[in-house]
A and B are shown apart, each in its own frame.
Chain A
Amino acid sequence: MLSDPFLLIAMVTTASSAVLLLWFLIKRPLINRTTKVILLFGIGVLPLATAGSGNVAGYQAMKTRTFCQSCHVMTPYGNDSADPTSLGLAARHGRNEAFGAENCYTCHADYGMFGTLTTKLGGLRHVYEYTFNFHYLTLEEALPKIHIRKPFPNSTCIRCHSTQNPYWNQIGDHASTLDEVRANTLSCASAGCHGAAHPFSHEIHERERAKAGVK
């Protein structure tokens, strides 16, 4: 936990501020200029430093897989992407250090100038949905209801797999679908290509679709 420098700074400033404030509340010193300067640090400077560094530490923590998994409905997704034996796209990329423990965020974040902002707003929507719609569901009830909001964009894949590598284009399927892949009309994660990022979720939705079809 304390490997994060911002977390360490936040803890140190919190402790310092708490010491000053507790001294003021317990000792009840005369309120002269010295006391006011001490209180300026205890109420102003140090808590502001705590808030600033704590916000940065929190922002980093919210990108981790463990944070995403803290909502119970996401546990199977997190477990699958952390499973060293899983062949799903999420798991294979999770084993890559560039994704690692932040593989959920790395794939699902929006990019561009306002990407971080839209991703965080989306996160707020997740909290809303979980709090009001999914919190009381069991995993079996919740999983069929969880759908990605919009189709997974190929641009996320193309950030690393640029489609311009001659070796990539030597593969027949890549060469024949190049325009569609770049235009995002054919998903890299479609069934006939690289498959679902979370295969178990795809199976659950297929089962539900089959059930609905039978009814």
Chain B
Amino acid sequence: MSEVARDASTAETAAASTPAKRPGRLARMLRYLTEPARALRLSAGLTLVALFLMVWSMVVPTPMPVMIAMTLGQGIGTLAFALFGFVIFIDLRRARRDKRDHGSFIPETPPEIDDPERSS
């Protein structure tokens, strides 16, 4: 067996004997939620909730709706926008990494984000 093959074999054996560390539940949930297409849908949904609360406070201008809109409504809206910003940031970072890794290969348009749940 060549030296390279022996090293590879040793590495495989070492990897097999060491159990892979499964990401925690929180990490898995975060990864699930921040999957780009899903995160954008969540962001859109949260924005609709925030808009509803704002409109409610404008249509019924009494203390409780106004306070709920100013606190919860604006908090949810901010979270939604932050989530959207996060997705865009990740996407730009990936595009920059692709450009760096592939050297002169620069895609004409940014790569489209795959939406695994979108029906064909």
Could you tell me which A residues sit within 8 Å of B by CB distance? 1, 7, 10-11, 14, 17-18, 21-22, 24-25, 28, 30-33, 36, 39-40, 42-44, 47-48, 50-51, 54-55, 57-58, 61-62, 64, 67, 70-71, 127, 130
Q: B51 at interface (Cβ–Cβ under 8 A)?
A: yes
The complex places the Cα of A48 from the Cα of B81 at a distance, in Å, of: 10
- Chain B contact residues: over half helix, strand or loop, or mixed? helix
Contact among B70, B80, B91 for A58, CB-based, below 8 A: B70
Q: A42-B44, A55-B70 are in contact. Are A1 and B59 (CB under 8 A)?
A: yes
Could you tell me which B residues sit within 8 Å of A by CB distance? 36-37, 40-41, 43-45, 47-48, 50-51, 54-55, 57-59, 61-63, 66-67, 69-70, 74, 77, 80-81, 84, 88, 91, 109-110, 112-113, 115, 117-119
Contact among B44, B50, B58 for A7, CB-based, below 8 A: B58
- Chain A contact residues: over half helix, strand or loop, or mixed? helix
**B51–A50 touching, CB < 8 Å:** yes
The complex places the Cα of A92 from the Cα of B80 at a distance, in Å, of: 49
Cβ contacts under 8 Å, B54 to chain A: 10, 14, 50-51, 54
**A62–B118 touching, CB < 8 Å:** no
The complex places the Cα of A130 from the Cα of B43 at a distance, in Å, of: 35
